[in-house]
Amino acid sequence: MKRCLASLAAVAVCGATISAASAAPVRECLDAAQARAAVAEHKLANPVMAQRSAVKRVPGAELLRSRLCRWNEDFIYEISLLPRDGKVTEIYVRAIDGQIANKPGE
């Protein structure tokens, strides 16, 4: 009987873990060629415009990296900036309209 209850508890915990993991947004970042194809195919905002929007949010910051990622069905530019204080800042820009967004999944 104790083994049966222990097994049921393990299944309940594992089931909760699996359902929580499936609820998390799926993130897939694209390489340069895939990003160019996605911009053309889905008529996404130009990456340079997204970078400029991000830099305006953090004046004086240096652009470190910009990449296009797909979060579930949404395309998001993830832009890393280095402000004068030396702490790397992540800015997220919706690729469909070029607007600043919250980090997907939050």
How does pLDDT run across 77-102, given as a tens digit for each residue? 999 999 999 999 999 999 999 999 99
Residue 8: inside a domain: no
CA distances from 47 to 64, 87, 106 (A): 14, 23, 23
Residue 63: inside a domain: yes
Residue 66: inside a domain: yes
Number of domains, the chain: 1
- Tell me, what's the pLDDT at 64? 96
What pTM did the predictor assign?
Answer: 0.74
Residue 7: inside a domain: no
Residues of the chain by 3-state class (helix, strand, coil), percent to 5: 40, 30, 30
Spatial CB neighbours of 91, under 8 Å, sequence gap ≥ 6 = 53, 54, 57, 58, 79, 80, 81, 100
Spatial CB neighbours of 13, under 8 Å, sequence gap ≥ 6 = none
Domain range for 37 is 25-101
Residue 78: inside a domain: yes
State pLDDT tens for residues 62-71. 999 999 999 9
Residue 2: inside a domain: no
Residue 40 belongs to domain with CATH number: 3.10.450
Residue 15: inside a domain: no
* Overall average pLDDT of the 37-58 stretch: 93
- Tell me, what's the pLDDT at 11? 45
